[in-house]
Amino acid sequence: MAKKKSIVTGILSYGMSGRVFHAPFIHQKTRFDLRAVVERHEKHAQHRYPGIISYDSVEELLRDEAIELVIVNTPNNLHVAHATQALNAGKHILVEKPFATNSAEAKELFALARKMDRHIMVFQNRRWDSDFKLLKRVVERDTLGELIELHVRFDRYRMEKSAKTFKETDIPGSGVLYDLGPHLLDQVISLFGKPEKSLKITSTHRPGSEVADFATLILNYQNGLTVFIHASLLVANPLPAYVLHGMKGSFQKVRADVQEDQLQAGISPKDPEYGIEPAGKEGLITLIKPNGDRELRYREALKGDYNDLFNAVYAQIRRDEPFPVKEEEILWQMEILEQSAWNG
């Protein structure tokens, strides 16, 4: 059988996400071939990846007929426009979160992809975080019995405004809910599907801020499970990322995935230590025994591995295998994010 050729790929921005979350995986030369990036000002990519092309604009990269897959990782408010351009240029696309700023835009993009016979994939990499993978195992193994309550948090402390103005300006797709919310919503939807009801709460606290820096989503499911999603830029002492309560006991786990820090430090995704959490970050399972005593179990997280996301991208394009992040899941996410908020 003939070997499937590598997927020639272009990245629309070589900022932090391009440099950290995409280029190290695309440049591995096994299934992908990193051909080009867009760098509007300073040119850095060739220092790390000699021989690649650095285009001055998105339009130049999209005119490159050799490129088959385009990674859309430009500012949030430009995702839809650039994804549309890439699809019309005949490219498959992998789009950073948030996929769009509302469900109507998202539906239009999926419809355009079908018209152009191209694949759309959404970069929900946090499904492959080590800490979330442990939560998923606890849920799938029914360790806690009937589930009652799940808290999912992404806590930061950042009083100053981000240098990325699109995150701090009152435009579609800005604020903490569209920055961190898509990660957390996707994790919950991947576990439990579409909620029956949802509520959105946002508020602004930093001096001079134009956008929400606190957000909570409350999701209610028909089986009685209630999920609380919290994202904040003003938490000095972060709480556990996951707290799950069921009829038989509880589970809690701190946010400890190391992949982003490792990639920032230049560690290769092929390194044997890549994605492995440090000791002392184990998840805690507390079970109630028949006699009422508590049994404590500490569980190491599974290896975090964004390589699996890119393996799925390859399988979608070359083998037409379904991408794990489904169209309907993204539409549910958009509908929850765009609902009217109770503003604090």
- Dihedral sign computed on CA atoms, order 92, 97, 99, 101: negative
What would the pLDDT profile of 115-162 be if each residue is shown by its tens digit?
999 999 999 999 999 999 999 999 999 999 999 999 999 999 999 988
**pLDDT of amino acid 105:** 97
**Exposed e or buried b per residue across 92-120, where buried means at least 16 C-beta atoms within 10 angstroms of its C-beta:** bbbbbbbbbbebebbeebbeebeebebbb
Please, what is the end-to-end C-alpha distance for the chain in angstroms? Answer: 61
- Helix, strand, coil percentages in the chain from 3-state DSSP, rounded to 5: 35, 25, 40
Tens of pLDDT, residue by residue over 301-334, are 999 999 999 999 999 999 999 999 999 999 999 9
Distances (CA, A) of 189 to 34, 54, 71: 32, 37, 23
Give domain limits for the chain.
7-123+308-323, 126-304
Tell me how crowded residue 133 is: count the other CB atoms within 10 A of its CB: 18
Domain 126-304 has CATH 3.50.50.60: no
Which stretch of DSSP H or E encloses residue 328?
Answer: helix 327-338
Do the strands 226-232 and 214-220 form a parallel or antiparallel pair, or are they unpaired?
A: antiparallel
| pTM over cut 0.85 | yes
Other Cβ atoms within 10 Å of 160 Cβ, number: 8
Strand order in the sheet with 53-55: 53-55, 32-38, 7-11, 69-72, 92-96, 120-123
Identity of the residue numbered 42: E
Task: List the structure tokens of 118.
Answer: 């191209």
Q: What angle do CA 309, 311, 317 make, to 5 degrees?
A: 105
pLDDT for 164 equals 82
Give dist(CA 27, CA 24) in Å, integer.
Answer: 5
Dig out the tokens for 331 from the structure.
Answer: 């539409």
CA dist 260 and 231 (Å) reads: 18
Cα R_g (the chain), whole angstroms = 21
53: left (phi over 0), alpha (psi -120 to 50) or beta: beta
Query: 105: which 2 tokens?
Result: 């835009």
* pLDDT at residue 1, rounded to an integer: 43
- Name residues of the chain where pLDDT drops below 50: 1-2
Backbone angles phi, psi at 2, to 5 degrees: -65, 140
Task: Look up the CATH superfamily of 7-123+308-323.
Answer: NAD(P)-binding Rossmann-like Domain (3.40.50.720)
